[in-house]
Each structure stands twice: as C-alpha cells, then as structure tokens.
C-alpha cells in the first residue's frame, strides 16, 4: 500500500465508514442472493458486548479503536427443516477506524489472533464451545493481512467461521463467512476481502 494511501486515511471520519462496507450488489456471485441482515455502526461498547467474555470498551479504546461499521447478510432459507452441512448462512464485511496504523496491527495481533487462540477449548456461551483455531495466510493484499478458520460447537452441530483481517493505513477491514459444518471458505472470503480493500481505497481517494 502506498504511503500516500496511508496518509490519506487520516482524513477518514466515522461518517465515511458506512460507504466502505460492501453493498449487496458488490458481493461475490456466490453470495449475491443473500439478504441484508444488519447494517449498523459498531461503537466500542457494542463490540465489547458482542465480543469474548471479559471484553471492555476501555480496552478496545486503549488499543486505538475509535468506531466501526458492519454490513451483514444472511442466506435464503433452504428447503426442509434442517440446514445441510456446507451451508453458508452468514457473510459480512466490516470496517474499523483507529487512531493510527499501529493500532490496527495491535488489534490484529492481540484481539483478533490473540483472543481466539487463547479461548480454544473454552465455553463462550451455553452450548457453544470454541473447538479449534487455524491460522491462514491470505494472498494478494497490499499491506498486513491475517486469516483464521474458527470451529465451534452449536446446537445444530459444528459451525466454522472463515475470517480475514487486513490493514489499510488506520483502517481495519474484516470479511467473514459462517458455514454449518467443518469447512474452509478461504477462497470466497479472500475474494470478499479484496473487493473490500479496493472499496476502501476508492472511498479514501474520494474523501481526499
């Protein structure tokens, strides 16, 4: 990523973030029939409520996170009463705004990778246990990028989440797909993340 793009992210404000996450029309073809589900700002208090047990808004702010925005989509309901194995039922892109690029790196290492790895074999919620965490190596990004494949138990059986975090200046981009069963959706999530990265750059240059 060029130094000019890094500097240009300094002009980004919270009001710009909703334009950075992918709209339905820009999702990969495999997800194009998904329905809008959540489209909202994510302050540090909300992130802490939705995070691992013990998460606090104060800790997230101390890492340098200011605010973010999520756009999440759900799959159309399949036929029958039970979801089939291999069924991708959630997909989302997220943007987080930080004080500086160093905060993004700290978040990736301490919150994203660190927290997931530290919680293996722990119960996250009643009936939900984190079973395994596998580190992935995304390719083709202009700056730092890390992937994880997370497997956890649920009432419907094992659920896998394939997630990529990447940095563009003081922006953190996240893309993920959640699948019923023990599956790896790296190619699809990587495609989403590349689309998200390009959208970041486009909005940053417009704002500049």
Question: What is the value of pTM for the model shown?
Answer: 0.95
* Residue 78: per-residue pLDDT: 80
* Residue 32: per-residue pLDDT: 92
* Residue 208: per-residue pLDDT: 65
* Residue 82: per-residue pLDDT: 78
CB atoms within 10 A of CB 11: 10
Cα 79 to Cα 33, 76, 83, 87, 154, distances in angstroms: 15, 10, 8, 12, 21
Q: Return the percent helix, strand and coil in the chain, to nearest 5.
A: 35, 35, 30
How far apart (Å, rounded) are the C-alpha atoms in residues 3 and 169? 9
DSSP class of residue 169 equals: T
* Residue 150: per-residue pLDDT: 97
Give yes or no for a contact between 72 and 20, defined as CB atoms under 8 angstroms apart: no
Query: Could you list the pLDDT tens digit for every one of the 208 residues in the chain?
Result: 567 778 889 999 999 999 999 999 999 999 999 999 999 999 999 999 988 888 999 999 999 999 999 999 999 988 777 788 999 999 999 999 999 999 999 999 999 999 999 999 998 878 889 999 999 999 999 999 999 999 999 888 899 999 999 999 999 999 999 999 999 999 999 999 999 999 999 999 887 6
DSSP class of residue 31 equals: G
CA distance from start to end of the chain: 16
Token pair 């700002």 in the structure block, residue: 41
* Residue 202: per-residue pLDDT: 93
Q: How far is CA 103 from the centre of its chain?
A: 16
* Residue 2: per-residue pLDDT: 64
How far apart (Å, rounded) are the C-alpha atoms in residues 194 and 182? 24
């Amino acid at each position: 990523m060029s130094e000019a793009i890094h500097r240009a992210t300094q002009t980004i404000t919270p009001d710009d973030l909703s334009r950075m996450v992918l709209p339905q029309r820009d999702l990969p073809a495999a997800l194009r029939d998904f329905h809008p589900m959540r489209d909202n700002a994510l302050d540090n208090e909300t992130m802490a409520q939705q995070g691992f047990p013990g998460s606090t808004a104060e800790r997230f702010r101390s890492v340098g996170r200011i605010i973010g925005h999520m756009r999440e989509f759900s799959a159309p309901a399949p036929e029958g009463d039970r979801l089939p194995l291999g069924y991708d039922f959630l997909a989302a892109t997220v943007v987080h705004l930080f004080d500086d690029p160093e905060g993004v790196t700290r978040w990736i290492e301490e919150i994203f990778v660190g927290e997931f790895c530290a919680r293996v074999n722990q119960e996250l919620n009643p009936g939900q246990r984190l079973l395994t965490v596998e580190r992935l190596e995304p390719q083709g990004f202009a700056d730092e990028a890390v992937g994880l494949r997370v497997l956890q138990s649920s009432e419907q059986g094992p659920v896998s989440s394939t997630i990529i975090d990447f940095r563009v200046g003081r922006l953190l981009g996240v893309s993920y797909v959640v699948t019923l069963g023990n599956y790896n959706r790296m190619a699809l999530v990587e495609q989403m993340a590349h689309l998200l990265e390009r959208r970041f750059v486009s909005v940053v240059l417009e704002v500049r």
